[in-house]
Amino acid sequence: MHPDNDGFSGSSFYELDPLAPDDLPETLGKDLSFLLRHNIFHPLSHVDIPSPLRSDFIVLNPGEPLSPSLGLLEKLLSEGRFLVAAHFTSSILTSSLISPTDTRLIFSLFYTRLACLELSGNTVLAAQESKALEDLNSTFYYIDPTFDGAETDKQHEKPLAHFPRHIVPWPLRVLAVRLQSIGFGDSRRSIGGLYEIGLEARREIMKKGSSENERKIWRERLADLGIRSVNALVEMGDLDAAKRSLEALQAADEDTEAMKLRKALLFLRIGDLDAAERVFGDSRESKEAALLQPLLSMSEGRYQDAVTEWRALHENTQRTDGALVGQNLAVCLLYSGKVDEARQLLEAQISANHSFGSLIFNLSTVYELCSDSAGKLKGQLAATIAGQPVSGQTNLDRPNTDFKL
């Protein structure tokens, strides 16, 4: 989502899923008032945010139309003020501005609320609120695709084979699988839920009448679900099952470099370094593939080698992930006993307005190791970050845990 001008119409909140039904009449009778109740949404607080980074919660103006409110929410999202956005989203959902039959907008805003809670470090609250969706596999969430008239094969004038269409946007369904497994305290629920929607993705890929672009999107979704299921097994601690599942994921020709890197990182988490190295094969030319060798060195505890490898990448001015590479270089320097150099490198990243969560956490750790006034230094770090220009790439409502306060 991107910021817009004063003429913002809120249309982006209707575009969460490119394959979602765009022709749902409100006469379908899907009443989502159960997602608009005040008691679903937990009260939020600034207490766990360092004072320099706190910003006031925004109150919904009585009588203000829906469009300006959605425009303001869009602006908060584009700035990375996720906690404030989460609060404002619940205000919109529980207001009289929302029709309980406006399914596309309600689902989009509900997804925004859950995603913002997770991005601002409130995953437990998001997990509890996701339970309001109840069973996303229930018949309530499906519609007959012929509600607006039977579709036919134009060539033979025969009715096409139809499957019920799910009315919940795909991103919300995927997010809810994980959050509900946390909310209900059942890790196996996550695996089952991913396989359930995976079957639907396979069915859509094979469905007659789908365009090649639609099949491409579904194939990408299916590949993503495979990675998520392996990650869920890793989180459960079942590394053997995770390894078998990851090995069973066939390397598709259309796998992007980012997808290959996700697979390699999971192999590293599992501890299978040889399999991680085989993911990219002989190719080491892409930006993602170049990250693998220093990561392998770190996994084997060869931090001096990793320093050399990360430094070579960091000196490449053509890379767009210089901050991430610099942070990893600093971590390896720290493990190599070069605390002062690690501190200088991390502070240089902050000075360059790169202030993502893990970098802040690592710099706060370095302050604890090299100074008796770490608390003061962390406070100054928070003030420095609060004065940086807004990029919209990171969460501005950073919790105290990022600074180890």
Same domain (yes/no): 166, 29: yes
State residue 7's pLDDT score.
35
Name the percent of the chain lying above pLDDT 90. Answer: 63
Same domain (yes/no): 11, 132: yes
- Report pLDDT digits (tens) over 97-136: 999 999 989 999 999 999 999 999 999 999 999 999 999 9
Same domain (yes/no): 178, 301: no
With respect to residue 195, please indicate whether it lies within any of the assigned structural domains.
no
Which residue among 185, 205, 232 closes a domain? 185
Lowest mean pLDDT segment, chosen from 33-47, 69-83, 144-158, 236-250: 144-158
> In this structure, what token pair is assigned to residue 95?
């207001």
With respect to residue 21, please indicate whether it lies within any of the assigned structural domains.
yes
Number of residues written out for the chain? 405
Tell me the CB-side half-sphere exposure of residue 13, using CA atoms within 13 A. Answer: 32
Q: Are 232 and 187 in contact (CB under 8 A)?
A: yes
Which residue among 132, 157, 185 closes a domain? 185
Same domain (yes/no): 163, 42: yes
- The domain that holds 322 is classified in CATH as 1.25.40.10
- pLDDT at residue 152 greater than cutoff 70: no
Which residue among 185, 212, 227 closes a domain? 185
- pLDDT at residue 333 greater than cutoff 90: yes
Three-class secondary structure of residue 143 per DSSP: strand
Same domain (yes/no): 46, 168: yes
Same domain (yes/no): 175, 319: no
- Report pLDDT digits (tens) over 344-374: 999 999 999 888 889 999 999 999 998 889 9
DSSP category for residue 52: G
- pLDDT at residue 25 greater than cutoff 70: no
Give me the number of domains the chain comprises.
Answer: 2
With respect to residue 253, please indicate whether it lies within any of the assigned structural domains.
no
Q: Are 397 and 84 in contact (CB under 8 A)?
A: yes
With respect to residue 130, please indicate whether it lies within any of the assigned structural domains.
yes
Range of the domain at 365: 294-405
State residue 124's pLDDT score.
96
User: Which phi and psi angles does 161 have, rounded to 5°?
Assistant: -70, 130
With respect to residue 119, please indicate whether it lies within any of the assigned structural domains.
yes
